[in-house]
A and B are shown apart, each in its own frame.
Chain A
């Protein structure tokens, strides 16, 4: 799980071209959006696409559910390990 978290941190940084930040700077439990890394809804969109490409996971048509998955790196890792196809 730790390894997956690390992978997702890298994916977040690369997908969103984040500067001045390394995987170690991201707290896996901290919120990704607004108050945490300051990401926005477009970032969520891009991140969703990247997750789909890397792990074959698709988001549900349920925004409440999605918001839960995108809450933190840890939540994303849980979501990916539960749904990944490979």
Chain B
């Protein structure tokens, strides 16, 4: 195993030029390349002069070089979870500049010529990073981190798990744009001198292919682990899986069982959050209800049943505890998680527990998953439900219509809640919208209620093709004024919907380039039920769409995307 070098000293001490840092299709990228790229990024950040820079990259090696270059230029790195237009627009007020795979209108920096050497150790006290959580209020909350918090976390991981990994490479389904991915697939490997894959794994097939190439540690999230198809040839490759990590959310029992059966081992589950850092871990090899073990250096306690934490992963005044939103029972060997604290909200002066509403909605057996969220509705706050119906739920939906299911759910709430707490709006989906960390962010859920978004149901979806049903409902704002008396859906809206769902279902490059072979064959009138077929040809950057209905084909065309491929 290579020598452990803390992040502060990594560049000033260095490693051998050929020491493998990252793995790309072509082979290993050596430490000398990392130093050269980091020097270029350092020069670019120094020239720009802004102390707050947002980084968004697909390629984890290039991201690492930019991160190190930024830190050595005295820059605080802001890490957005995605590069969606709304995210970037909000970041614009918080940062001085952008770098990476970001649309040209944000003038992202690229590495420039500059001095090569002159690396000095970084200060552990440096304000190194700002990450974001999906806050329960809807707006993401910024969480600043000092460099020492990150190096402490990495040291904790190395102390606990270094030996399990040995000479393995690190591969991941989790993005480095999130703190879990950043620590496990970038900062820890850099410190340990262990190569990491520059590209993330998107599909289960990618995991199999990555394991076929040799010994690896897999950084994963429940989102992937609960969707492992059993028809893939796991038995042939699982011998190469040294260790499997799962974090970012609770690992459901069926996912744990799938890991044991298909991958031949239980994942090392890590419990913590962007705000708290790592708190505890466990590996449920045999016991499904095994307690969480507190990480070395971390102390836990309780206040009003809620877990409290004191740890070097936090930046709090001496002696202060951080209170989490998780209810726990402390045990001699660690603790047991009892669920989230009730999310309380005031609706027209009345306190409502969103968690209690969700539990009650699930109790009737009509839903498999349910999230309740507050929405601004005119000048009052009302509640909305995003849910995945069960078989019984879809049956009711099919027979009695959406309203029948709405009514049945409201009926379940009558005995326990006041009418003011009843959800007003409902969206039923085949699966919850999740990001690569397996979380359904409040923003993604709220977007389902945007009046500009047509009601949609995904019928089929694969890596390069999707089939949806869209309702061009009469109340869509796009029919207003287009045209008075004879409303038809504008062509630009049809293209917009294709791009919108293309971005939801595939990872499209940031920049729209042009349209090709665009045809509008038949007008779309209010109340039309449309089928949207999307085909994503990644190598050509081309999103093909076709809108049809019972009347025939309405429109089709190709939308071409591109952007800085870093």
Chain A residues within CB distance 8 Å of chain B? 17-21, 25, 33-35, 38-42, 46
Q: B424 touching A40 by the CB < 8 A rule? A: no
Instruction: Give the complex CA separation of A30 and B406 in angstroms.
Output: 18
| The one of B378, B402, B424 that contacts A18, using a Cβ cutoff of 8 Å | B424
Q: How far is the CB of A68 from chain B (nearest CB, A)?
A: 19
Q: B402 touching A38 by the CB < 8 A rule? A: no
Q: How far is the CB of A5 from chain B (nearest CB, A)?
A: 20
| CB neighbours of A33 from chain B (8 A) | 419
| CB neighbours of B422 from chain A (8 A) | 38, 40
**Can you name the residue of chain B whose Cβ is closest to the Cβ of A18?**
B424
Q: Mark B377-391, 1 if CB is under 8 A from A, else 0.
A: 110100000000000
Task: List, sorted by A's number, 5 A–B pairs whose CB atoms are closer than 8 Å.
Answer: A20-B402, A20-B403, A25-B403, A38-B410, A38-B419
| CB neighbours of B418 from chain A (8 A) | 40
B426 within 8 A of A: yes
Known: A17-B377, A19-B424, A38-B410. 7 other contacts (CB 8 A): A20-B401, A20-B426, A34-B414, A38-B422, A40-B422, A41-B420, A42-B380
B348 within 8 A of A: yes
Instruction: Give the complex CA separation of A53 and B18 in angstroms.
Output: 78
Q: B403 touching A21 by the CB < 8 A rule? A: yes
Instruction: Give the complex CA separation of A41 and B350 in angstroms.
Output: 12
If A20-B403, A20-B426, A25-B403 touch, whether A40 touches B419 (CB-CB below 8 Å) is yes
Q: A19 touching B426 by the CB < 8 A rule? A: yes
Instruction: Give the complex CA separation of A19 and B471 in angstroms.
Output: 14
| CB neighbours of B402 from chain A (8 A) | 20
Chain B residues within CB distance 8 Å of chain A? 348, 377-378, 380, 401-403, 406, 410, 414, 418-420, 422, 424-426
| CB neighbours of B414 from chain A (8 A) | 34-35
If A25-B403, A38-B410, A42-B380 touch, whether A19 touches B425 (CB-CB below 8 Å) is yes
| CB neighbours of B380 from chain A (8 A) | 42, 46
Q: How far is the CB of B201 from chain A (nearest CB, A)?
A: 39
| CB neighbours of A38 from chain B (8 A) | 410, 419, 422
**Can you name the residue of chain B whose Cβ is closest to the Cβ of A34?**
B419
In this complex, which of A34, A35, A39, A40 has the most chain B Cβ atoms within 10 angstroms of its Cβ?
A40
Instruction: Give the complex CA separation of A34 and B402 in angstroms.
Output: 19
Question: DSSP class of A's interface residues: helix, strand, loop or mixed?
Answer: loop
Instruction: Give the complex CA separation of A40 and B414 in angstroms.
Output: 12
Instruction: Give the complex CA separation of A40 and B420 in angstroms.
Output: 6
Q: How far is the CB of B455 from chain A (nearest CB, A)?
A: 10
Question: DSSP class of B's interface residues: helix, strand, loop or mixed?
Answer: mixed
Q: How far is the CB of B374 from chain A (nearest CB, A)?
A: 14
| The one of A17, A34, A42 that contacts B348, using a Cβ cutoff of 8 Å | A42
Q: How far is the CB of A9 from chain B (nearest CB, A)?
A: 15
Instruction: Give the complex CA separation of A35 and B378 in angstroms.
Output: 24
Q: A17 touching B378 by the CB < 8 A rule? A: yes
Q: A42 touching B420 by the CB < 8 A rule? A: yes
| CB neighbours of B426 from chain A (8 A) | 19-20
In this complex, which of A17, A19, A42 has the most chain B Cβ atoms within 10 angstroms of its Cβ?
A19
| The one of B377, B406, B419 that contacts A20, using a Cβ cutoff of 8 Å | B406
| The one of A17, A19, A25, A39 that contacts B419, using a Cβ cutoff of 8 Å | A39
Q: How far is the CB of B489 from chain A (nearest CB, A)?
A: 20
Instruction: Give the complex CA separation of A20 and B410 in angstroms.
Output: 14
Q: How far is the CB of A10 from chain B (nearest CB, A)?
A: 12
| CB neighbours of B419 from chain A (8 A) | 33-34, 38-40
| CB neighbours of B410 from chain A (8 A) | 38
**Can you name the residue of chain A whose Cβ is closest to the Cβ of B423?**
A38
Q: How far is the CB of B488 from chain A (nearest CB, A)?
A: 22
In this complex, which of B377, B406, B419, B425 has the most chain A Cβ atoms within 10 angstroms of its Cβ?
B419
Q: How far is the CB of B93 from chain A (nearest CB, A)?
A: 31
Instruction: Give the complex CA separation of A7 and B341 in angstroms.
Output: 45
Q: How far is the CB of A60 from chain B (nearest CB, A)?
A: 23
| CB neighbours of A42 from chain B (8 A) | 348, 380, 420
Q: A17 touching B403 by the CB < 8 A rule? A: no
Instruction: Give the complex CA separation of A40 and B410 in angstroms.
Output: 13
**Can you name the residue of chain A whose Cβ is closest to the Cβ of B402?**
A20
Instruction: Give the complex CA separation of A39 and B401 in angstroms.
Output: 21
In this complex, which of B378, B424, B426 has the most chain A Cβ atoms within 10 angstroms of its Cβ?
B424
Instruction: Give the complex CA separation of A40 and B381 in angstroms.
Output: 13
| CB neighbours of A18 from chain B (8 A) | 424
Instruction: Give the complex CA separation of A35 and B410 in angstroms.
Output: 10
Q: How far is the CB of B239 from chain A (nearest CB, A)?
A: 53
**Can you name the residue of chain A whose Cβ is closest to the Cβ of B405?**
A20
| CB neighbours of B425 from chain A (8 A) | 19
Instruction: Give the complex CA separation of A41 and B348 in angstroms.
Output: 10
Q: How far is the CB of A71 from chain B (nearest CB, A)?
A: 15
**Can you name the residue of chain A whose Cβ is closest to the Cβ of B420?**
A40
| CB neighbours of A21 from chain B (8 A) | 403
If A25-B403, A42-B380 touch, whether A17 touches B420 (CB-CB below 8 Å) is no
Q: How far is the CB of B416 from chain A (nearest CB, A)?
A: 14
Q: How far is the CB of B484 from chain A (nearest CB, A)?
A: 19
Instruction: Give the complex CA separation of A8 and B410 in angstroms.
Output: 24
**Can you name the residue of chain A whose Cβ is closest to the Cβ of B348?**
A42
| CB neighbours of A40 from chain B (8 A) | 418-420, 422
Instruction: Give the complex CA separation of A39 and B380 in angstroms.
Output: 14
Q: How far is the CB of B375 from chain A (nearest CB, A)?
A: 10
| CB neighbours of B424 from chain A (8 A) | 17-19
Instruction: Give the complex CA separation of A17 and B424 in angstroms.
Output: 9
| CB neighbours of B348 from chain A (8 A) | 42
Instruction: Give the complex CA separation of A38 and B418 in angstroms.
Output: 10
